[in-house]
Amino acid sequence: MMQRSRPYRRVFLLALASAVLVQETFAQATLAQEGQRTFSSGYRFVEMSGEELYNNVCRGCHMSDAGGATGAGSYPSLAANSNLESPGYPITLVVHGRRAMPPFGGMMSDAQVAAVVNYVRTHFGNNYRDMVTAQDVSEARR
């Protein structure tokens, strides 16, 4: 019995080895394509730049092109969005949240909120050049 089954076993192991290769290649390719990514260690985000905050947080709902998404409810598109003209509006939403938008005031510093608001207001077809400051965010927290 043992003798007879050995060749099959060898073939199986060979097949297994090539499958491993395929899987690892797939995983590595996925990670290589996505590149380095920052991970936070606790409740607060460690990402600091507006771009990285958008990609690691906002993108979850507003998507890569900021076009939003719709299911039973919607995440609004931030692309070419005139609601972003007044900076106080996005600051308040990021800090305090509203409806399906979670509040990030406890997870981001004033500087982080300012950075991501500035990023969104100058990308995705938005071109609002009046930069917001950490001070503006601090005032919105009250």
Cβ closest to another protein, residue 99 vs residue 129: 99
Cβ closest to another protein, residue 33 vs residue 130: 33
Q: How far is the CB of 41 from another protein (least distance, A)?
A: 7
What whole-number distance in Å separates Cα of residue 135 and Cα of residue 142? Answer: 12
Cβ closest to another protein, residue 55 vs residue 122: 55
Residue among 44, 123, 51, 140 at smallest CA distance from 81:
123
What whole-number distance in Å separates Cα of residue 138 and Cα of residue 116? Answer: 15
Cβ closest to another protein, residue 7 vs residue 106: 106
Contacts of 53 (CB under 8 A, 6+ apart): 45, 47, 108, 112, 115, 116, 119
Q: How far is the CB of 85 from another protein (least distance, A)?
A: 22
Q: How far is the CB of 3 from another protein (least distance, A)?
A: 22
What whole-number distance in Å separates Cα of residue 78 and Cα of residue 63? Answer: 9
Residues at the interface with another protein (CB under 8 A): 16, 19-20, 23-24, 26-27, 30-31, 34, 37-46, 55-61, 63, 69-75, 96-103, 105-107
- Helix or strand holding residue 69 (H, E): strand 69-70
Q: How far is the CB of 54 from another protein (least distance, A)?
A: 9
